[in-house]
Amino acid sequence: MKCLTLCLSVLFLVLWGIARPVGTGAAEAGPGFPTEAVPDEASKLNHRGLDHLNKKEYDAAIELFREALKIKPDYADALDNLGKALDATGKDEEAIADFDRALKLAPEDAILHNNKGLALYHEGKYAESAASYRKAVELHDQFSDAHNGLGVALLHLGKTDEAIGAFRKAIQINSKNVDALNNLGTALMGQNKAAEALPYLKKANKIKPDSPDIQENYAAALSETGHTAEAITAYRKVVAKHPDHAAAWAHLGYLLASEKRNEEAVESFQKSLAVKRDQADVLLALGIVLLNQGKSKEAISSFEQSLALKPDDFHTFFNLGNAYYNEKDYAKAAANYEKALSLKPDDGDALAGLAGCQLAQNQYAQAIATYQKAVPLKPDDPNLRFNLGTALFNKGSFKEAADSYREAVWLKPDMAHAHYNLGMSLFRLNDTKSAQAEFDEAHRLDASLQSPLSK
């Protein structure tokens, strides 16, 4: 039985907010806030809040920024920092409100527009996010991170070409902008341009080798460009540093399976599932590898778990049918092939599997009908003609059986058993001379096949 394999590819975009140097309220990316006297106590609270923000101690940072704003409600720097802290904790609407308050005080500040763009992005408001990023780059054209942010928002709006242009601009400004390098590579991968994406992802990985997402994108590009050994090495580096990275374990498993390194593939899939059990595609892939190893019972368990998570998947029903077929449980195999066909009625492999079950259960009429549906879908498959011939022969339709066996040997002239069965069909049709010629050819191809006429 033929097993289908799947390939999983997950790419990660990277997007961050922009911090400004402590004390001045300015940054190289933009003109900064208007210089205005800030009470010492408010400034100290803001600085302490920044320390917590940089340590990702968001609740403490939020409290300190709010204390600073009680002293000076129009403290734009504190409003910006409060917005960043709120955004980091998922309170995007509050963050956007604080960025808007700050923008009323400093409408020409590019960093504020950038950070508002990020909060809008997190809120899923991609058009508004893009507008904020556009304003940031309009105010400061050399703002690399804002061009990157604009690109990410555009990707989510389906404007891939514009997004790629934004990422290229970000990299033109700052060739070491690792997020833009990664995101450009990701966007190009999405356009099936893995070869073009690879150098950008390679550079991103070199700059930031400890990022599991960048490492995984780089590994995916290596895989897509045929650098399988390097891709396997790259994924192994990811899981060595991040053993709880379920997706990386899964990708490693897919690559190992493609190389027929089945034991290693099984181990990788199991590691992925140990981290995250509810992965229908990984359970399916694990089942396929187990099936290829001849471990049909284990494969059945994996396929059934996959179906519990993804109950209408053609590939899982098909491979579950294969597993039951291998176990000679033809009734259950047929039931799963039929479920597969209910999802994809014209799949030649599923029809062939169902017909095989019917033939194995001596349901010759049903098998013939099913094979006759499969043959036009797989016109170059000699095995289908052979099996159809067998069903016809067992039903007593010897002329039709002979025709089917002839088609099989025409497609595969060295198919010894097809020659032999053609001989048997011709013998039943009383064409002894032609039958003997086929028996002789079968014996020439396979010495174990002896002519019944020579006995």
Q: Is 73 helix (H, G, I), strand (E, B) or coil?
A: coil
pLDDT tops 60 at residue 3: no
Q: Is residue 71 part of a domain?
A: no
Q: Is residue 200 part of a domain?
A: no
Q: Is residue 230 part of a domain?
A: no
Phi-psi region of 254 (alpha: psi -120 to 50; beta: other; left: phi over 0): alpha
pLDDT, tens digit (0-9, with 9 covering 90-100), for 94-109: 999 999 999 999 999 9
CATH of the domain at 426: 1.25.40.10
pLDDT tops 60 at residue 2: no
| Least confident segment among 9-13, 25-29, 302-306 | 25-29
Q: Is residue 331 part of a domain?
A: no
Task: Phi first, then psi: give them for residue 386, nearest 5 degrees.
Answer: -60, -50
Q: Is residue 211 part of a domain?
A: no
Overall domain count for the chain: 1
pLDDT at position 454 is 74
> pLDDT band at 40, cuts 50/70/90?
confident
Burial class (CB in 10 A: 0-12, 13-18, 19+), 205: buried
Q: Is residue 179 part of a domain?
A: no
pLDDT at position 10 is 33
pLDDT at position 205 is 94
Q: Is residue 186 part of a domain?
A: no
Q: Is residue 392 part of a domain?
A: yes
pLDDT tops 50 at residue 434: yes
Neighbours of 336 (CB within 10 A): 27
Give the single-character DSSP code of 415: -
Range of the domain at 434: 380-455
In DSSP terms, which residues pair with 27 in a beta bridge?
Answer: 30
> pLDDT band at 332, cuts 50/70/90?
very high
304 vs 32, higher pLDDT = 304
DSSP secondary structure string for all residues of 227-272: -HHHHHHHHHHHHHH-TT-HHHHHHHHHHHHHTT-HHHHHHHHHHH
pLDDT at position 210 is 86
Residues 46-65, mean pLDDT to the nearest whole number? 93
Q: What is the pTM of this model?
A: 0.76
Q: What is the mean pLDDT of the chain?
A: 90
